[in-house]
Structure 1
Amino acid sequence: MTVRRRRPLYHSHTSPAFTKQRNPEMLVSPSTLNIAKWSRAEFVFEAESDPSHFTQSWVTATFSNGDDQKVVRGFYDDGGRFLLRFMPQSEGIWTFRTESNIASLSGITGSVNCTPAGAEATGPIETDETFHFRTASGKAWYPFGTTAYVWNYQSDAVQEQTLASLAASPFNKIRMCVFPKHYTYNFKEPQRFPFPGNITDGFDFSRFDCAFFHQLENQIDALKDRGIEADLIIFHPYDRWGFAEMDAETDRRYVEYLVARLSSFSNVWWSLANEFDLLRKKPMSFWDGVFKQITADDPYGHLISIHNWHNPPIHYTSNDHWYDQTDPLITHASIQHHDLWFVPGWREQFSKPIVIDECRYEGDVDCGWGNISGRKMLNLTWEGVCAGGYVTHGESYLSDDEIIWWSHGGRLKGESPERIAFLRNILEEGEAKRLSPWKGRSHSQWDVTIGHMGDDYWLLWFGDSQPGFKLLTMLPEGKEFAVEIIDAWAMTVERVTGTWRSGDRLPLPGRPGIALRMTAV
């Protein structure tokens, strides 16, 4: 095969506005591309157009900057175009050289000058201090996520409404699927799929529908533009098209292609599956292999997890059917469970951040997972935070147009989002909050969830309990504390007169939804 252009063309991507079309006007061909740290460079190589490139051809590049080296996999974008994307994570001149099983695509060289990140740039999200998160720029980051599984498959109007709703919400992460979803309220046939074809004629699993991926990339960039992480669900069981039962080689090639296309997006997380244990034809060894494949192919080390359906065990045995969250390749535990009492135990057992990505949804659908009140959703969010973990929001209110947030996005209707924003603000204001669950034992404390940072900062959540007073026996001896009563539903903070010590009897309002913030004087 012959190459039409030996020198690559260059794309530079920051965070474009949400569009349905790519941006060819960004194509330039300098000797060295200047690009800010954590932004995305795209290199375009052209060869003869041949669909066999999807399965038979490969191209990689080794990027070097001093002792720092990244091996980046390219991919075929159809029409004779091979693309290779790079996200520099350190400043300076990065040089690269390609390798390929197409001789004319091998040995191509180029360079990228990585300039300092912009003032607002955060970079990818990382784990921090074992149980928490931070931005690559070093700022504490708190996952207040939501779920809209297939918002990316909806009409342009619904997608735009979803993005507007997210921009006005407290949510900085969204769980979303790559494949379409077959489930209650999800019976409309999508227009495009990751593979070319349709449910009537079948799908060509030897190729990818690049127009689908162009749109997905624009959607991920649109989320980035709004400060939102894309927690991408790679597999799920709710399927009528055959995507949940592809053969092993197709699965492998799909994962490889997905990582090659999307790992350079700074706001991507990898979620191997939603409810992986319902994909009954995929054994544990399959998931082991996918974890190894992604972590080997992703040069940037994005966050990666796997999500369950069956209730997780408290302690593992050889007969358990829940993925071992202690696996060092897993960056954080993504858990489905309705009882947040287990969070402290999971922290100790897994030694990594605990994210309850599904605990039930605020809504009124005829499903037990989707009909709790806004107060209950808020209660679970507060409880998870004070227990030292994090909780993902969900909403499933019935709608005449059957546009339900949990799956389609659209418009948020619930009572919890603005109150979750109030909690997020409490965590984000002032110094970084690295809460740990209180390990003290007292007969008078079982009705309250207590989080603290050392001896000097305490956050107590009473939830549905409504005591008229509280004995402050959890506080350390010899210190005085300023005490504030937080009404999480009314979104008010009231400073209590004076200072308070261990064992003092603190009067409380005697109503649900109250928290205490106590700070050492």
Structure 2
Amino acid sequence: MLRRRAVERVGLLVLALPAVLLGTPKQVRFSQSAPSVEAYDFVEVKVDLAAPDAVNPFTEATLRGTFGKTGAAERKAVEGFCDAADGSVFRIRFMPSSPGDYTYSVTYRQGDFEKTQTGTFRATDGQRRGPLRVDPKYPWHFIWEGTGEHYFFNGTTAYWLVGWRDERITQSSLERLHRLKVNRLRVLLSGAANMFWGEAVMTGENFTMFLRPWGAQAPESFDHPGVDYTRFNIPYWQKWERMLRFARERDTIISVVLDISTHSDHPAAGSEDERRYIRYAVARLSAFSNITYDLGDDLDSFRDEKWAHETGTFIEGLDPYQHLATSHPVHPEHQDRAAAWFGFTSVQVWSREQHALMLAQRLLQIKTGRIIPQTNEEYGYEDHYPLWAPQPPGDSAETLRSMAWQIAMAGAYGTTGETCRRGTNVWPDTGGGWINGRGDDTMVMLNGYAHMVDFFTSFEWWKTEPHDELLNHGAYCLALPGVIYAAYLPQGGDVTIHLEPGSYEAKWFDAFTGETIPLPPAEGPAWTSPKAPSSHDWALLLRKRP
């Protein structure tokens, strides 16, 4: 009897020990994905545990590493992540930014157990575009790291893009938008909704509005999902990565929107659960060159400005590749404009005077003493008419296309949203638009946006500044005086442009069709255009003749 009680006491003592002290994983094996990769792709080191014994590998074990050019003092610190619910697989990723030979060191830790592996890889020059950066010379604008090409930000919204259960729909949606010259999508990493804003969208066997990065007892429940914030939903994250990889091969930037205000299943603000989520997201996603971070949609509905500053700074400290980051509050004044972590603005204002609005945004930015790109990433969704939105036709395809021109002519950028009227689980069930990214050939709004992209990328738009004072009749002007003048006439007509002395090549650009019409040379110091060929909106482009 005494022996039995002693055994029981020992058993209770063992049970009382922290799980991390009991963990002694066996057969920890490291493997490298490839000996060589192109710069801005990534090498992955996988850690396989033959007999994982962590009770919760997401909280009890870590994988961390460093890498850098062979022989160089500079090293980037990188965090890895658990990629199996039972803790049998961990991964860490290294994205080289230039060709050359690299070395790395990675360490797996669990309690008192530790194992380190070192290795090498080579990066080659594949002419890949790297992360998006602010142009240091023209900081109202963006460039691609690596190639130095300028990036004309032309975004659309697809919050629930990864809600499609069939990933072929996700990929075909990305491919369609790429053909339409969209190069940025706003996509939710976490989010749920039980309302559809009057849109022709329903959940069903092929589509869900419940995006669950964590494990949940009832993931399709809005009110009681039973989320476990200490464990991650591995298949969901792997699905997200496949979407990112597909987008990366098409040079499409994905805005990783961390959460949205449409549900209440957020980890507590500033909690360890929330920080673990952010760490995990940065560890998994930052080696993809084609991302930016967004702290949350309608952020000021569920987080305050202090949280935004602290969390943005936290991400900046975690991310070894320093991807651009922003936030998307309901109220545009809640932007951390002066902070180092804040890469560009992302306001939402549905005014139908976008040109004046974005000029005012630029002035606000100038007052901070820090110039960064200005974007309105929510100024309307096509055919979207809840009572708080502009009344018809305030969100028509033509109105939104005109708003996009107004924004661009202010030296700023925008993100739009397509109609949902073609339906998701609603006949004809070929759409989804701003909710999930799917569309069909009847949805033509973005054709007009593609023409706008063609116009601006036909000249060095990043060198121009707003100069509306050079024009009359309410037209808008971007200019590098004496070199380039771009004018936009919202209702056609004619315009007089005050030019630096000289002779300029001139042409009309049909903002509706993309057609160009050459004009006789324009002569300074003042030139009046002929009347536009029709009464809809037109643009003019004048360039100094050699």
Q: SS at the partner of 2:377? A: strand
1:508: which partner in 2? Answer: 531
Query: Do residues 145 (structure 1) and 155 (structure 2) align?
Result: yes
Q: SS at the partner of 1:419? A: helix
Q: Which amino acid in 1 is paired with 2:343? A: T
CA positional deviation for 1:58 = 1.7
1 CA distance for matches of 2:29 and 2:132? 33
2:361: which partner in 1? Answer: 346
Task: Tell whether the 8 Å contact from 1:59 to 1:106 is kept in structure 2 after alignment.
Answer: no
2:455: which partner in 1? Answer: 426
Q: Which amino acid in 2 is paired with 1:9? A: S
Classify 1:154/1:495 alpha carbon distance in 2 versus 1 (closer, same or farther; 3 Å). Answer: same
Query: Do residues 235 (structure 1) and 235 (structure 2) align?
Result: no
Q: Which runs of 5+ in 1 are unaligned?
A: 13-32, 314-321
Runs of 4+ aligned residues of structure 1 deviating over 6 Å after TM superposition are: none
2:496: which partner in 1? Answer: 471
1 CA distance for matches of 2:115 and 2:355? 53
2:439: which partner in 1? Answer: 411
1:202: which partner in 2? Answer: 226
- Equivalenced residue count is 481
1:440 is aligned, of 449, 455, 469, to: 469
1 CA distance for matches of 2:340 and 2:210? 39
Q: SS at the partner of 1:236? A: coil
2:511: which partner in 1? Answer: 488
Classify 1:307/1:365 alpha carbon distance in 2 versus 1 (closer, same or farther; 3 Å). Answer: same
Deviations 1:150-177 (A, max 9, x none): 0111231532441332232210110000
Query: Do residues 399 (structure 1) and 422 (structure 2) align?
Result: yes
2 CA distance for matches of 1:368 and 1:85? 45
1:159: which partner in 2? Answer: 170
2:98: which partner in 1? Answer: 90
Q: Which amino acid in 2 is paired with 1:113? A: R
1 CA distance for matches of 2:530 and 2:172? 45
1:61 is aligned, of 35, 60, 65, to: 65
Q: SS at the partner of 1:347? A: helix
Classify 1:191/1:270 alpha carbon distance in 2 versus 1 (closer, same or farther; 3 Å). Answer: closer
1:335: which partner in 2? Answer: 347
1 CA distance for matches of 2:525 and 2:311? 51
Q: SS at the partner of 2:258? A: strand
2 CA distance for matches of 1:55 and 1:454? 59
Classify 1:247/1:433 alpha carbon distance in 2 versus 1 (closer, same or farther; 3 Å). Answer: closer
CA positional deviation for 1:11 = 2.3
Classify 1:164/1:471 alpha carbon distance in 2 versus 1 (closer, same or farther; 3 Å). Answer: closer
Deviations 1:384-423 (A, max 9, x none): 1111011112112423434421102211543321121122
Query: Do residues 108 (structure 1) and 117 (structure 2) align?
Result: yes
1:26: which partner in 2? Answer: none
- 1:244-263 residue pairs with structure 2 within 5 A? 248-263=271-286
Q: Which amino acid in 2 is paired with 1:124? A: P
1:23: which partner in 2? Answer: none
1 CA distance for matches of 2:338 and 2:44? 36
CA positional deviation for 1:190 = 5.1
1 CA distance for matches of 2:65 and 2:242? 24
Query: Do residues 266 (structure 1) and 272 (structure 2) align?
Result: no
1:29: which partner in 2? Answer: none
Q: SS at the partner of 1:472? A: strand
2 CA distance for matches of 1:91 and 1:4? 37
Aligned identity (percent) is 20
Task: Tell whether the 8 Å contact from 2:468 to 2:478 is kept in structure 1 after alignment.
Answer: no
Deviations 1:340-363 (A, max 9, x none): 312223224321101111111222
Q: SS at the partner of 2:254? A: strand
Q: Which amino acid in 2 is paired with 1:355? A: T
2 CA distance for matches of 1:434 and 1:100? 49
CA positional deviation for 1:325 = 1.7
1:24: which partner in 2? Answer: none
2 CA distance for matches of 1:286 and 1:237? 15
CA positional deviation for 1:94 = 1.7
1:35 is aligned, of 37, 50, 54, to: 37
Task: Tell whether the 8 Å contact from 1:233 to 1:272 is kept in structure 2 after alignment.
Answer: yes
1:124: which partner in 2? Answer: 131
2 CA distance for matches of 1:414 and 1:365? 17
CA positional deviation for 1:367 = 5.2
Query: Do residues 449 (structure 1) and 476 (structure 2) align?
Result: yes
2 CA distance for matches of 1:341 and 1:507? 26
1:22: which partner in 2? Answer: none
CA positional deviation for 1:8 = 1.6
CA positional deviation for 1:44 = 1.0
Q: Which amino acid in 2 is paired with 1:349? A: L
- 1:168-183 residue pairs with structure 2 within 5 A? 168-182=179-193, 183=195
CA positional deviation for 1:76 = 1.3
CA positional deviation for 1:515 = 1.0
1 CA distance for matches of 2:502 and 2:267? 58
Classify 1:254/1:482 alpha carbon distance in 2 versus 1 (closer, same or farther; 3 Å). Answer: same
Task: Tell whether the 8 Å contact from 1:5 to 1:45 is kept in structure 2 after alignment.
Answer: no
Q: Which amino acid in 1 is paired with 2:463? A: R
Deviations 1:441-465 (A, max 9, x none): 77x35x11211134311111122x3
1 CA distance for matches of 2:178 and 2:346? 24
CA positional deviation for 1:326 = 2.3
**Larger CA deviation: 82-91 vs 157-166:** 157-166
1:212: which partner in 2? Answer: 236
Classify 1:247/1:285 alpha carbon distance in 2 versus 1 (closer, same or farther; 3 Å). Answer: closer
1:461: which partner in 2? Answer: 488
2 CA distance for matches of 1:146 and 1:237? 19
2 CA distance for matches of 1:451 and 1:430? 11
1 CA distance for matches of 2:478 and 2:460? 15
Deviations 1:309-335 (A, max 9, x none): 12x35xxxxxxxx12322221111111
2 CA distance for matches of 1:374 and 1:460? 22
CA positional deviation for 1:51 = 4.4
Query: Do residues 70 (structure 1) and 76 (structure 2) align?
Result: yes
Classify 1:70/1:247 alpha carbon distance in 2 versus 1 (closer, same or farther; 3 Å). Answer: closer
1:292 is aligned, of 313, 338, 347, to: 313
1:28: which partner in 2? Answer: none
2:89: which partner in 1? Answer: 81
2:143: which partner in 1? Answer: 134
**Larger CA deviation: 355-364 vs 170-179:** 355-364
Q: SS at the partner of 1:108? A: strand
2:377: which partner in 1? Answer: 357
TM-score for the superposition, normalised by structure 2: 0.82
> Whose Rg is larger?
2
Q: Which amino acid in 2 is paired with 1:451? A: L
Task: Tell whether the 8 Å contact from 2:159 to 2:436 is kept in structure 1 after alignment.
Answer: yes
2 CA distance for matches of 1:493 and 1:51? 66
Q: Which amino acid in 2 is paired with 1:304? A: A
1 CA distance for matches of 2:178 and 2:468? 38
1 CA distance for matches of 2:487 and 2:388? 28
Q: SS at the partner of 1:289? A: helix
Q: RMSD value over aligned CA atoms?
A: 2.3
Classify 1:134/1:275 alpha carbon distance in 2 versus 1 (closer, same or farther; 3 Å). Answer: same
CA positional deviation for 1:100 = 4.7
Task: Tell whether the 8 Å contact from 1:433 to 1:453 is kept in structure 2 after alignment.
Answer: no
1:382: which partner in 2? Answer: 405
